[in-house]
A = this chain, B = another copy of it.
């Protein structure tokens, strides 16, 4: 199997879906001749032409809204937000038009919205956000957040083929830093299945996206403890069986995400466990997240805000000792 970066895996998935299914097309800012701010669609306009690779004007509502229209007419649009943060500018079309359409009228909206998200490279308050929790509070959207190249490819293919609006969080920090084996050719991973990134028996760390790597690194050698790392992969649907299963096994859980704390995905996972696995718990449910602040630009500040390997280690040690 070839080794690809996370970015290449995303690009490959998109290219293969476009080759296989002429209904699939891309739209977004600078995705054509420039190949996208992060080069995910590099070479696409040359291969697929301007009709299937639309360099849109700077208008996020238009990107999401026209995608909805094209989708209900039978196409499979894949929208790119230049940065995940800009989803706030197309928010209404996403949460009110796309998300509610099927429930209200039985009309499926098969769009994918790609969100290059996350911080760690001095992007500052407007280029570092992890907006997934907003989507969880907007019923009708599926949400995925892969952490490995293999998952990135399989989940993007599945997102594109899914008959629902799927928000696809691709963490910018993984783009070129993360490499891994990726099967050749088309394949899909089911939306809604978590993955045990490492088996363990003493403690579960539940994470997704870029934080899976942090979790693995932090717990690799933690005074000999056997730490399970659960990679959620999909946030909607959430794999509650996998979450509860892991907690039942280990009885102790740390939930880790890069997004800010209040009403984040960690809150949801904690609440789920506190309601459904209460008897299995052998200690408090601990969250390691960014605090409730905008993500600052300057490296020492940003490091202070984003969860670091050491923060996870400390949280795990404390909980193990509980």
Contact = CB atoms under 8 A, between A and B. Distances in A.
B293 A271 contact: no
A306 interface: no
Contact of A274 (B100, B259, B273, B279): B273
A245 interface: no
Interface string A222-263: 000000000000001010000000000000000000011011
A266 B272 CA distance: 11
Interface stretch (A17-25, A133-141, A152-160, A198-206): A133-141
Interface string A269-291: 01101111011010111110000
A146 interface: no
Given A88-B92, A95-B88, A264-B263, A285 B274 contact: yes
A194 to B, nearest CB: 16
Contact of A270 (B125, B133, B270): B270
Residue among A126, A131, A134, A273 facing the most chain B CB atoms (10 A cut-off): A134
Interface string A25-59: 00000000000000000000000000000000000
A292 interface: yes
Interface of A: 85, 88-89, 91-92, 95-96, 99-100, 103-104, 125-126, 131, 133-134, 136-137, 139-140, 236, 238, 259-260, 262-268, 270-271, 273-276, 278-279, 281, 283-287, 292-294, 296
23 contacts: A85-B96, A88-B95, A99-B294, A100-B294, A103-B125, A103-B293, A103-B294, A104-B125, A131-B137, A134-B137, A136-B262, A137-B260, A137-B263, A236-B262, A263-B263, A263-B265, A263-B267, A270-B275, A273-B274, A274-B274, A274-B284, A275-B285, A276-B284
